[in-house]
Amino acid sequence: MQVWRICKKIYVNTSFSGDGGLYSPGRWHHRGNRVVYTSQSLSLAQLEIWMHVAPRNPLPSYVAVSAEIPDDVSVHAVAEADLPAGWEAAEPSPLALRDIGTKWLKSLSSAVARVPSVVTRGEFNYLLNPLHPQFERIRPGQPEPFRFDPRMWKQGDRH
């Protein structure tokens, strides 16, 4: 399975370390936990980042990195039906989701967790656990320059 991650170019060397989770919480983890957020497609990865990027001119340099997850690496699927009401709330994300993700990270039950995307219903993000023994089998690809299309911030008539 291939997954995607977009990050600022200055962080490309640590983009699969999970270190960012040590300093900032996310929808699926409490601060202080190493985790790597990836998406099922490059377009979903773009939307997930876009939700947190303010329109600037110019935007910082970004890169896209794919990663290959071997078929026999363990994946825990989080079903939307098992999530608490309001799980898709915007910022701040519900603490219950941070509890679910952090519990999964600490359990070391799988290297990967498939979680539903809030941005695009019916699609999935994949959390990678750098502390799981199978994590080393996940192979990031070569970073590719990535730019957000400036039309994403068009002002005016929106349908």
Is residue 92 classed as helix, strand or coil in its secondary structure?
A: coil
Name the helix (H) or strand (E) containing 116: strand 112-116
* Domain, as residue range, for 9: 2-149
45-88 residue pLDDT tens? 999 988 877 666 666 789 999 999 999 999 999 999 999 988 98
Asked if residue 62 belongs to a domain, the reply is: yes
Distance (Å, whole) CA 101 – CA 87:
12
Asked if residue 92 belongs to a domain, the reply is: yes
DSSP designation for 93: P
Buried b (16+ CB within 10 A) or exposed e, 40-78: bebebbbbbbeeebeeeeeeeebbbbbbebeeebeeeeb
CB distance 100 to 33 below 8 Å: no
Asked if residue 38 belongs to a domain, the reply is: yes
Looking at the structure of the chain, the number of domains it has is 1
Asked if residue 154 belongs to a domain, the reply is: no
User: In the chain, what's the furthest Cα-to-Cα distance?
Assistant: 50
Asked if residue 72 belongs to a domain, the reply is: yes
CATH classification at residue 48? 3.90.175
Beta bridge partners of 146: 62
Asked if residue 109 belongs to a domain, the reply is: yes
Name the helix (H) or strand (E) containing 53: none
Asked if residue 157 belongs to a domain, the reply is: no
Asked if residue 159 belongs to a domain, the reply is: no
Examine the pLDDT at 157 and tell me if it is beyond 60: no
Strands 75-77 and 112-116: parallel
Token pair, residue 6, equals: 């977009």
112-143 residue pLDDT tens? 999 999 999 999 999 999 999 999 999 999 99
